[in-house]
Amino acid sequence: MPPWAWKTILTLTGSHSEEGAQPRNSQKKGLMFIDVKIHGKPIRAMVDIGATYNYLASVEVERLGLVVEKGAGRVKAINSTVQPIAGVANSITMTLRWVLLRARPTFLSW
């Protein structure tokens, strides 16, 4: 398993609407997206190899059926305010094309 798989942290944003959770057009901003599966359900993910955290909208957490436990701490993304973490999900199964990752990425929610 690649070392980054153990460090992956996905942050769940409770303040975003369902519209905000839609994949963005990668052609306009030069962003790269890939299709992955979390617990067997498809999701489109932005690739950012330099990011400390990966973000996931709370509507996606519900759709993917992730179990969120109470979390502590705060998170700040670029161009946003500091927000408290509301929850953490562990033991996530993620598939990238044909590679199955059974890591312990942490999903944070605020």
CATH of the domain at 40: 2.40.70.10
Q: CA dihedral in degrees (107, 58, 82, 30; nearest 10)? A: 90
Contact (Cβ atoms closer than 8 angstroms) between residue 87 and residue 109: yes
Contact (Cβ atoms closer than 8 angstroms) between residue 110 and residue 86: yes
Average pLDDT rounded to a whole number, residues 18-30: 49
CA angle centred on 49, ends 23 and 5, rounded to 5°: 95
Q: Is residue 93 one of the residues assigned to a domain? A: yes
Q: Is residue 81 one of the residues assigned to a domain? A: yes
Alpha-carbon gap, residue 22 to 62, rounded angstroms: 14
Q: Is residue 35 one of the residues assigned to a domain? A: yes
Residues listed for the chain? 110
As for how many domains the chain has, the answer is: 1
Q: Is residue 55 one of the residues assigned to a domain? A: yes
Q: Flag whether the pTM goes above 0.75.
A: no
Q: Is residue 59 one of the residues assigned to a domain? A: yes
Average pLDDT rounded to a whole number, residues 69-98: 76
E strand segments, 1-105? 9-13, 32-38, 41-47, 54-57, 74-75, 83-84, 87-89, 93-96, 99-102
Q: Is residue 24 one of the residues assigned to a domain? A: no
Average pLDDT rounded to a whole number, residues 78-91: 77
Q: Is residue 49 one of the residues assigned to a domain? A: yes
At residue 45, the pLDDT reads 82
Q: Is residue 26 one of the residues assigned to a domain? A: no
Task: Give the residue numbers spanning the domain of 9.
Answer: 3-17+31-109
Confidence of residue 49 (pLDDT cuts 50, 70, 90): confident
